[in-house]
Each structure stands twice: as structure tokens, then as C-alpha cells.
Amino acid sequence: MKFDFIECSEPVEIEGVRLAVANAGIRGRSRNDVVLVELVPGAQTAAVFTQNKFCAAPVIVARENIAARQPKFLVFNSGNANAGTGTLGIEHARKVICGLADIQGCSSAEIMPFSTGVIGERLNYKKIIDAFPKLIQSLAADRWEDAAQAIMTTDLVAKYFSLETKVGDESYRVSGIAKGSGMIHPNMATMLAFIATDANIDQAHVQLILADCVNQSFNRISVDGDTSTNDACVLTATGKRKNNSQLTPAHPHWSIVVEGISKVFESLAKSIVKDGEGATKFIEIIVESKCEEDSLAIATTVAQSPLVKTAFFASDPNWGRILAAIGRAPVAEMNIHKVSFWLDDYQIVRNGEPVPTYEESRAAAIMAQAEIVVRIALDQGEAKVCLWTCDLSYDYVRINAEYRT
């Protein structure tokens, strides 16, 4: 079957989704800090959330609501996480959605709240409620980039990506936005993401697609090893494309459309790593072993290592740091005599020992690149895992030291 994935330079509209942004004064008066998303009736939505035990108040409320009803609205605010705020924080998150529900004449259970920003500060929910009339009046299908900008915190660039999947004479659209820069680690990250497609997919399958896409994207990135209190990722299928036949695994377009959706997730995840706080290098870590769990454990250990990350920042081919990280990965059994690794296509270690022809100058040239691949192979295994990370620079310390000043 002939198909094509077309990346769009600008966000594309998704029939059945309207967005609006406003400055509510949560982050001051210099920029928009609230986003309202309206979903068409009948849209099918799924969500996944942080695994941090101190999950934020909006996470608690959003999780409860989507378990009860399909959402009509999503509300995002930046500048305040409403996390670590106890029962009063939950009350404030509920006041936000009740304020919108009163205006729109819907149930508050049909609204999902999301927040990002400083932890431990009370949310001025009244400012968000006061912004709702303006937000409702300005809802439009073409505000994706504005929404991506409004949810930024320490992000340097707005993160959005759109893809059109052509299958024969038919097409399917996907658009997504995300925020995230620091406090990024697998099991979600300090990120918010909203992705929508015009495909017609039932809620159960939307949830399955979301879980699989998150595991292969947002759960495969690491900036600093921290997992936030507010992480959430939402996927909506509006079912509003012209040919409205429902997609299921039996449909001939199913696998192609799902692949298109996954490409949007992957692009957004990579953009978070590339915008890692103070990052200067984008690093792809590929591990092949006999067990996917072991491959992921090794990749994560290497990606988290401050010594490895600072060596990349310095463009220093101190490959012993990579070897040491591999060796301390929580893997039950590892035959070190069958461990090999490469920087790009240049092999550094073969079967646990330095390659005799190793030249530090060649390794240094690779380490100086803006994008680098580290490939690690154990025991000729076929369980392959990819994880994306970045270096650790002086600016990471500066940005996080100055975050509240």
C-alpha cells in the first residue's frame, strides 16, 4: 500500500480542536500563561500522568475526571505547578474547572486541569477564572504555536510538530505541542504534552496507542534524572476527518496511521532533549542485549551519569566513564568480555577491551559534534533500546540555581 509521511513546517489545524491563550498574570504580565483547549463532542481522549508520589493537585483532579467522563475542555497554566500544596491545592484546581464549567454550562468532570511551574506555591486560581471569558471568545483552530509558547517555563523554544499521513487518496493529520527542558527523566518528565489527530479511533485504542507511544518517546528521554510532580500527556482522536470510518487494528490503514502518530511523539520528545537546560549536545544511546529490560537499564545508567554527561560537554573522549557506567548498570548478569561500544561508527571497545587501533583524535572529533550516537552491544543480543539525552553544562547549574530569582 502506497503511503507517505509529510512533515509540516507550521502546526496544522485538527478538525475538532480549538485553542486559545491569555495572560492571566500567573507568570507576570510579560507573556501568555494560560491555555484553553476545546474538544469537539465525541472526541476520544486518553491521558497518562507522572509516577511521582507527590503528584500535583491538577494531576489528581485530571486523573479522576478522565476516569469518569470524556473531556470537553483542557486548561493549562504555566508559572505555578500547584504541587506540594496539600488539600488546598486540590481545592484550587477544582475551583479552576468549576469556574469554567459554570460559564460553559457543562460538568466540571468534563474539564481536565494541568499546571507547570514552581512547586510549593499556592495557585492564584481567581486569575485563571477571570481569564476564561477572553479565552472562550478567542478560541480558534490555528493557535497551536501560541499554545506551545504559553506553556513554556525554562524552555528556550516552543515545541510543536505536525505530520500528515497520506495513504492512497486519503490523509490523516496529527498535531502536538509539548513543554519541557529540565527535570526530565523516564517514567514521564517535567513535561506537558497534548497531541491530537483527526482520525476516528475509539477510546480504548487511543489509550493503547498513547501508552505505546509514550513508552517509546517521552519515557526514552533523560536530561538530569529528575522526574517531576506534574507530568501529563494527552492524546485525542477527534474523528472529524472527511472519511470518518473507524480505525481498528483490522483496518488496512491502522499500522500506518499509528506510525504517523508515533513520529509526532518522537519528534516532541527529541525536541525536549535538544532544549535541555544548558544543553549543547544531543546524544542518542542505543543498547543491544538479549533482554530489553537490561538494554534499558544500561542506556538509562549511561544517560544519567554526570561524569559521562560532563565529558560530552567538554568534548573529552574519556570513554572509561561510559565503560564504568555500563558496568554499574542494574543488570543481573553481564559478561564484560562480550561488551563492545562505538561513538557513531567508530568502535572504541571490542569484547571488553580497547580496540588496538584506537586513536583519541578521532574520538575527540566525534565528541565535538552537536549530535552523537553511542552504541553499546552485549552478547550479540537483539533486544534494542534507544534513549535520548544531552550533556551537562555550566548553564544547567546556573539556570536551576536562578530558577526562582
Question: How far, in Å, CA of 396 to CA of 405, rounded?
Answer: 15
**What are 288's three cell numbers?**
543491544
Reply yes or no on whether 85 is catalytic: no
Phi, psi of 29 (to 5 degrees): -105, 10
Q: At what angle do helices 306-313 and 320-328 cross, to 10 degrees?
A: 160
Assess contact for 68 and 101: CB atoms under 8 A.
Answer: no
For 278, residues 6+ apart whose C-beta sits below 8 A from its C-beta are: 392, 393, 394, 395, 396, 397, 398, 399
For the chain, how are helix, strand and coil distributed in percent, rounded to 5?
Answer: 35, 25, 40
Give the residue from 194, 170, 388 showing the smallest Cα distance to 282.
Answer: 388
| Residue 267 three-state SS | helix
Length of the chain: 405
CB crowding 20-30: b at 16 or more within 10 Å, else e: bbbbbbbbeee
CB crowding 240-251: b at 16 or more within 10 Å, else e: bbeeeeebeeee
Of 45, 153, 190, 301, the catalytic one is 190
**What are 328's three cell numbers?**
554499574
- In DSSP notation, 346-357 reads EEEEETTEE-TT
Active-site residue set:
190
